[in-house]
Amino acid sequence: MTLIAFQGQAGAYSDLACRNAFPGAGTLPCETFAAAMEAVHDGRADLAMLPPENSIAGRVSDMHALLPESGLSIIGEKFQRIEHCLLAPKGAALASIRRIHSHPVALGQVRKLLAELGASPVVEYDTAGAAEIVAKLDNVEDAAIASSLAGGLHGLEILRRNVEDHPHNTTRFYVMARAPLALPPETPGLMTTFVFNVRNVPAALYKALGGFATNGVNMTKLESYMVNGSFTATQFLAEVEGHPDQPSLRHAFEELAFFSTEIKILGTYPADPFRQTLQG
């Protein structure tokens, strides 16, 4: 059976994403992103599913720092709709709730519910952990914001589903493995993720990216972040449509190499069909 490592504890949204993406697979909770990657390296897990970004909270900075040196390859992507549930012990009702426990990001996504119920937010280390804490408190005045999976694992009732303020709350996950996928260059619907550094000269980034435009390559993502605490050495994470061995993308990478000190491809993989809904 396939075993998938994720960051968090059982019932976390990452756990739910693993189960939805790979029905029937086992999941392995890990304390950190680095620990989940290490579980794949040492063979305790076959894959890792780790989030680079969320549609509301933005990028996950720890992942961007770990990806280039992870030694793993991105072999897929999955989008998981985040559906917050208000969970409480049996016997609780909306009118009885006085405190709502969850991760600070999740609490920030249910401000309307907090105002409606007049409940006080209680910060916990993660959403699944909040569900576990509320189950142990077993108090009708305490509720948690977490996934339906966490509620089921800890015997909590769902008082209300989809309590998030914004219905577009979605997390994207990379599926990571020890070896890259062997995909023919002509395979349709591929994405390539890579990192690169540009030389510290005027217009270096402009010139580096020009090859993608002139070769008709669609770049869907470009983010910058500092390297080793330096204010002058900037690293970029980029994503483009296509395979590196396709002529257009190969020529674009050749031009990029003229203005870059390092290029590292992190993976080429099939685009999630969810992308079609984003374009629509």
**Residue carrying structure tokens 């030694």:** 71
CA 186 to chain centre: 28
Count Cβ atoms within 10 A of the Cβ of residue 139 and give its class: 0-12 exposed, 13-18 middle, 19 or more buried.
Answer: middle
Closest to 10 in 3D by CA, of 139, 131, 110, 137: 131
Cβ atoms of residues 143 and 101 within 8 Å? yes
Whether 171 is catalytic is: yes
**Residue carrying structure tokens 């599926």:** 175
**What span, in angstroms and rounded, lies between the C-alpha atoms of 266 and 258?**
20
**What span, in angstroms and rounded, lies between the C-alpha atoms of 269 and 247?**
17
Considering all CA atoms of the chain, what is the largest pairwise distance in Å, rounded to the nearest integer? 66
3-class state of residue 109 by DSSP: coil
Q: Point out the catalytic residue in the list 173, 194, 196, 259.
A: 173
Helix axes 247-259, 204-214, angle to 10 degrees: 170
Q: Point out the catalytic residue in the list 6, 27, 33, 171.
A: 171
Whether 196 is catalytic is: no
Cβ atoms of residues 40 and 48 within 8 Å? yes
Distances (CA, A) of 197 to 109, 179, 214, 258: 35, 24, 20, 11
Q: Where are the alpha helices (DSSP H) in 32-147?
A: 33-41, 61-66, 104-108, 111-117, 127-137
Question: Which tokens belong to 57?
Answer: 């909270």
Active site residues: 171, 173
